[in-house]
Structure 1
Amino acid sequence: MTALPWLSITRGEAPLLVSIPHTGTDLAGLEGRLVSPWLGRKDADWWIEKLYDFAAGLGATVVRTSISRTVIDVNRDPSGVSLYPGQATTELCPTTTFDGEPLYREGQAPDAEEVAERRKTYFEPYHAALAEELARLRKVHERVVLYDCHSIRSVIPRLFDGELPVFNLGTNSGASTDPALQTLVADIIAGTGESHVVNGRFKGGFITRNFGKPEAGVHALQMELSCRCYMHERPGPVSADNWPADYDPDFAAPMRRALTEILQTAIRWARA
């Protein structure tokens, strides 16, 4: 596909594609329409690209967008259907933060025509890149794993009760991957001693649900991490003065070891 300045594709030959859809902070010129640029970047999956920067060294293909999820969320159903009916969530082109704060100044939110244009400009190329890379890998591997990387603040009352577990593994209730791979990954996260859940509040977004087709040789996992496991997350509400916390490689090292084991296991399983 045509090279795009906001879309990064690092090609590897292992049967693993790592998707990083929510670390982008590029607001695509929306700054003047937003209540504040900080709010526009508040819900990014902070430092996930650093946390997983070992993946390419394992031979994984890595696809990442630098566009903020405020511009468009490439992990939402483009039809507008909620992935979590009955639960609070944000739209394809969000108009509020996770905490419910308005993102746009009065009268500045995108209309249907603008949403459609953003979908064409950013959403469709990201998904085309995923499809193209999966097809490339499937030509040489009978099984390929799509691993979708995410993180979120540990406490967001609007989205979930209490403190979120550290590890939140989603496989669309088991539909997006072989049960054997789900079990292998679940055993690793259980072995860390950290809190964990499989197909809890976060069962996998549109990427996991759309591309996870075990019968076609593509096995998709979503890993949603609570930020406290790899960065110095402050308890309680956050502000521009304290969020995001800086990335601390030493603090993140134990989590990187666990994630390395997960990705290595996924590669071995796919090759078995």
Structure 2
Amino acid sequence: MQYPFLISIPHGGTAIPPLVADRFALDQQEVAYYSDPDTRTLFHFGSAAGAVIDTPVSRMVVDLNRPPLPVPPHDPDGIIKVRTIDGKPVYRAGQFPDMHTIHRLMMEWYFPYHQRIDELIDTNGIKIAFDCHTMLPFGSPEQKDAGKKRPLVCLGNNGDPRGLAVNGGITTCPETWIHALAGEFRREFSPEFPEDAVAINTPFSGGFISNAHYWRKGIPWIQIEINRSLYEPCVDPDPIHGLVYGQTGELREKLWQVLTGFWDRLGTDEKRE
């Protein structure tokens, strides 16, 4: 059975295009650490989903989940990175890309990804989209939650911790939907997950991809962040005993059960909204 899901995996790539490779200050191990390479295994459900889109290029070159403005390098963690989330320079001194190079990178990687999302929604009968990520167990020095321990799962719909709109804004899916997905995570991972293991819009409420494409197409979007300590215990100085899956394949199967269980339990009328 194929489900009407669009799976977006914008941070799974680790490739550094030749255009900027000789400018980079980060080595390949660092590039992998600051990217989300395991998302291409965890969330690539193949033909079981209506559509899957990912990219080979590292987010450290072009971050597809950032708005195109402000023009780099005014946002250090923007579309073209100046430094990493813990303050390391991405490019060697004096080698940050000029505007011509930035334009080439965006034309080759950024705009085609977003155009392809729209095409997949239009042609593949998509009813809901998931923007899929992993996160470090603790907030990094240059992030809003620096030093704070993170939940095992964070779901984002651009709202508040209850899934409701903030200050007259919009959410990218109904409140009932994000709570239903949170409940499915708790159900599938029970009794392993502690009560506060699944958070809504904390610490991440959703990025540019889910917000922009909800505006463009009106298809519900939910951003999913999976704690890397679930499969990569070495990243967590306070590991979750007895919960690490070790193999991403096992965790991937549980994630698919969560998504399909969530969809199967939604009422027909809700799906039509």
The verdict on a shared fold, with TM-score over 0.5 as the criterion, is yes
1:151 to 134, 139, 146: 134
For residues 200-235 of structure 1, the C-alpha deviation after alignment (integer angstroms, 9 at most, x for no partner) is: 121001011011259x55010100111001223333
The 1:40–1:109 alpha-carbon spacing in structure 2 relative to 1, beyond 3 Å, is farther
What is the rounded CA distance, in whole Å, between the counterparts of 2:174 and 2:263 in structure 1? 14
Please state how far the C-alpha of 1:260 moved relative to its aligned partner. 1.3
| Pairing partner for 2:38 from 47, 53, 56 | 47
Query: How far does residue 255 in structure 1 lie from its aligned partner after superposition?
Result: 3.2
Deviation, structure 1 residue 115 = 1.9
Matches of 1:204 and 1:131 in 2, distance apart?
Answer: 18
In structure 2, the partner of 1:234 is 235
1:207 paired residue among 206, 209, 214: 209
Work out the CA distance in 2 between the residues paired with 1:74 and 1:56: 21
Structure 2 partner of 1:106: 93
Partner secondary structure for residue 115 of structure 1: helix
Is 1:260 matched up with 2:251?
A: no
Pair 1:124-2:138 in alignment:
no
Query: Quick check: 1:20 aligned with 2:22?
Result: no
What's the secondary structure of 2:202's corresponding residue?
coil
Pairing of 1:34-183 with structure 2 (within 5 A): 34-38=24-28, 39-53=30-44, 55-80=45-70, 90-138=77-125, 144-155=127-138, 156-159=140-143, 160=145, 161-173=147-159, 174=163, 175-183=171-179
Residue deviations 1:61-82, cap 9 Å, x none? 1101001111100000112299
Kindly, what percent of the aligned residue pairs are identical? 24
String of CA shifts for 1:229-255, please: whole Å, max 9, x gaps. Answer: 12233335xxxxxxxxxxx97544563
User: Residues of 1 paired with 2:173 and 2:68: CA distance?
Assistant: 22
User: 2-side partners of 1:270 and 1:233: how far apart?
Assistant: 41
Give the RMSD, CA atoms, in angstroms: 2.7
TM-score (norm 2): 0.78
- Paired AA for residue 228 in structure 2: C
State whether residues 21 and 74 of structure 1, in contact with CA within 8 Å, keep that contact through their aligned partners in structure 2: yes
Q: What is the TM-score of this pair, normalised by structure 1?
A: 0.78
Distance, in Å, in 1 between the alignment partners of 2:250 and 2:150 is 19
In the alignment, the residues of structure 1 paired with residue 71 and residue 98 of structure 2 have an alpha-carbon distance, to the nearest angstrom, of 17
TM-aligned CA distance change 1:65 to 1:19, over 3 Å: same
